[in-house]
Structure 1
Amino acid sequence: MENINLSLAQVHDLAVRVLTTNGMDADHAAAIARVITAGQRDECHSHGIYRLIVCVKSLREGKLNGHARPVTQDVSAAVVRVNADFGYSQLAFEMGLPLLVEKARQIGIAALAINDCFHFSALWPEVEAIASTGLAALAMTPSHSWVAPAGGTKPVFGTNPIAFAWPREGLEPFVFDFATSAIARGDIELHRRTDQAIPLGWAVDNFGRPTTDPVAALQGAMLTFGGHKGSALAAMVELIAGPLIGDLTSLESQKFDAGVGATPCHGELILAFNPAILGGARASTGAKHAESMFDAIVGQGARLPSQRRFDARVRSATRGVEVPAQLYNDIMALVKD
C-alpha cells in the first residue's frame, strides 16, 4: 500500500487543523495533537492520526464539548480531581498534573481522578509524563462495553487499559501499557480498514462463535487476554476507575453514547508514587535492585516493554512517519474550509 511520509511537525499541525476546523478550541486541539503525534511517532498506529476520525465524529455528533473548561479541585492532601466538562481527557490531565506531582512529592502517594471525560488515547503518555518527574505512576480507565467476560459471549467490560511507568536515572522509563482485552479495539478497526483477517482469540461474533472476520468481531464481542485473569483485571479497572471515583462503568458509557458511536465517556484514575519517600533510607538501594532486575531481563536477550516504541521514537525523529495514503486522504477529508 502506498504511504505518505510526514514529519512529526506535520502530524501535529494536521491534527490541530482537523480539530480546530471542526469546532474544537485551540488549547484542547493542541493537547490532543501532542498525544496523537506521540502515538504516530512511536509507531502505535491505532493511536496515531487514525484516532482523528472518531474525534471528529464525536464533535460532529454533539457528544463531545469542544469548548470544555476543565475545573481542578484540590480535594485532600493526596487527591486531585479534575472535571473535564465532557471534553477530551488530555487537557484535563495536563491541568491536574502539576498538583498531582506536588502532592506525591510531599506525602509519597497521590491520586488524580478525572471525571466526565472522553478518552481515546493510550495511557502511556500520562504515566511517562509522571515518570519524567522522577515518580512512578499507574493509570487506568474503562471505555465502552465491547468485551465479554471470561466464559461469556456478551459485552460487559471495556478494553480497560492499565499503564505503569517506573523512572530510571538517565534512561527511558520502564513502561507498559496494555488493554485487558486481547487486543486494542483500534487494531481490529485497522484490520477492517485494510480487509485483513484477525487472529482467533481476539473476538467472537454476535452468535458467540470465534471469528477471524474483523467486521463480525466489531458486531460481536471482544475477548479478554488470559481468560479469567484478564477478565478479573478488567473488572478491577471498571470498579476503581469508575464507581470508586464516582464515574461510569463501560456499560453505562455505552448507554450514554446512545448508539452514536462517539469516543467513550467515563472517568480516569491516575496514581503517582514517590520512591524517595516510600523507599526512605533504602530508596537508592531500591533503585539499584530495580536496575539489576532490568539487566537480568535484557541480559538474556529479552526486551523491556515499550522498547519497540522507544526505538521507533528515535527513527521517527529523523525520518518522519509513514501513513497509509488512504488513511491520509480520509483525514484530509475531515478538514473543513
Structure 2
Amino acid sequence: MSELINLDLDQVHALAMRALTRNGMGADHARAIADTITQGQRDECHSHGLYRVLVCVQSLRSGKVDPLARPTVSRPAPSIVSVDAHRGYSLLAFQTGLPLLVEQARELGVAALVIRNCFHFSALWPEVEAIAAEGLVGLAMTPSHAWVAPEGGSKGVFGTNPLAFAWPREGREPFVFDFATSAIARGDIELHARQDKPIPLGWGLDANGRPTTNARAALEGAMQTFGGHKGSALAAMIELLAGALIGDMTSAESLAFDAGAGATPCHGELLLAFDPARFLGNAMEEGQRRAEQLFAAITDQGARLPSQRRFAARKRSEREGVWVEQALLDDIERLMA
C-alpha cells in the first residue's frame, strides 16, 4: 500500500471537480458527481470515493458520455416522474427529478422517479438518504453491466444490480441499507486488483467458470451473486423493474452498447418514495413507535443497524478529514496533465 495523505472534504470535492472539468465535463454534471464522490470518500466507501474519478474520466474519454447533456422531465402518469438523462450521468438527472418526486409522493402517498438513458457509477445510498431527508421512505435500484453469473451458471447475465432503502428517523440518522446483489461491488474487486490482493472465495469465477481468489481473474471471468439463488432472483427482479419495466436497457444490453469502450454502464434507474404521513394519517406517531421498537430490538442485543459503520466514519471524516493513497492521487493528477 502506498503512503496515505490526509485531505479535508473541501479538498476532495475540489480535486474531483478539477479532474472532471479539465476533461470536458460540464460544470453542473461535475458538481453533482463531485458531491457524490465526496460523500463516498467521507463515509469511507473507498470504491465509490475518489477512485471513481478515474472511472468517470475513462468514460468521458470513451466518447460514450455526453458531458453537457441537459436532463428533461416528463410526467407519464400522476405518480410517475420521468427524467431523460440524454446519455449524461444520472446524478444531475436525479437532482433534477427529486423535487418533483417529493411533491408527488406527498400528494399521492407514493411516487416513482424513473431515470432513463443515464450513465451510473455511484452507490445508491446518497439518493435514498436524500429522499429520507424529506421525511419520506426511499427505495432505489439499477442494473449495470452483465458481469455477474446467475447461481449455477458461469457467464455474466446480471449486473451488480444494487438495491437501496432508507427509512427516516426523527432526530437521528435514517435506517439505510445499500447492497449489490452480487457478492461484492465490482469496484471492490477492482481495488483488490490494483493492490494485488487476493479476494475471498465466493466473489468471482475465472474465465473457465472455476471459483477463484485472483481479483484479475474474476474481472476477466464472472462475479457471483450473494446468497446463492436468493441473490440471483433479486438480481433478476432488478433487471425487470429497472430495465424492462421502465423501457431501458438490461445489463446485457448495456454491456453490448459499451462495445468494449470501457465506459461506466449506461441504463436506467428506478426510485420509489413513500410518504408515511399519507399512509398513517392520525396513526403517524404509532407507526414511528413501532419502527423504533424494531430498531431497539436489534441494537439492544448487541447487533448493529446497517450503515452504522458508515455514519461513524462520516462523523470522523467531518472532524479529521479523510486518508487517501498517494498512488490514487498521482493517478488523478495524471488525468489533468
Q: Which TM-score applies when normalising by structure 2?
A: 0.99
Q: Deviations over 1:57-100 (max 9, x none)?
A: 11011001101110011222100000001010000000000000
Residue equivalent to 2:330: 329
Map of 1:154-303 to 2, 5 A cutoff?
Answer: 154-303=155-304
Amino acid of the structure 1 residue aligned with 2:98: L
Q: Deviations over 1:20-68 (max 9, x none)?
A: 0000110000000000000000000000010111100110110011011
3-state SS in 2 of match to 1:150: coil
Map of 1:130-169 to 2, 5 A cutoff?
Answer: 130-169=131-170
Residue equivalent to 1:83: 84
Map of 1:36-47 to 2, 5 A cutoff?
Answer: 36-47=37-48
Amino acid of the structure 2 residue aligned with 1:160: N
Q: Quick one: distance in 2 between partners of 1:218 and 1:290?
A: 40
3-state SS in 2 of match to 1:333: helix
3-state SS in 1 of match to 2:212: coil
Amino acid of the structure 2 residue aligned with 1:31: A
How many angstroms does 1:187 deviate by? 0.2
3-state SS in 2 of match to 1:36: helix
How many angstroms does 1:279 deviate by? 1.7
Q: Which TM-score applies when normalising by structure 1?
A: 0.99
Q: Quick one: distance in 1 between partners of 2:48 and 2:32?
A: 14
Number of equivalent positions: 336
Structure 1: runs of 5+ lacking an equivalent: none
Amino acid of the structure 2 residue aligned with 1:176: F
Residue equivalent to 1:10: 11
After TM superposition, the runs of 4+ consecutive aligned structure 1 residues lying more than 3 A away are: none
Amino acid of the structure 2 residue aligned with 1:259: G
3-state SS in 1 of match to 2:279: helix
State whether structure 2 residue 53 is matched by structure 1 residue 59.
no
Residue equivalent to 1:315: 316
How many angstroms does 1:246 deviate by? 0.3
Give the fraction of aligned pairs with identical amino acids, expressed as a percent.
Answer: 68
RMSD over aligned Cα atoms? 0.6
Q: Quick one: distance in 2 between partners of 1:317 and 1:134?
A: 24
Structure 2: runs of 5+ lacking an equivalent: none
Q: Deviations over 1:266-300 (max 9, x none)?
A: 00000000011112232221110000110111111
Q: Quick one: distance in 2 between partners of 1:251 and 1:284?
A: 45
Q: Quick one: distance in 2 between partners of 1:284 and 1:265?
A: 42
Q: Quick one: distance in 1 between partners of 2:283 and 2:224?
A: 42
How many angstroms does 1:251 deviate by? 0.1
Amino acid of the structure 1 residue aligned with 2:34: A
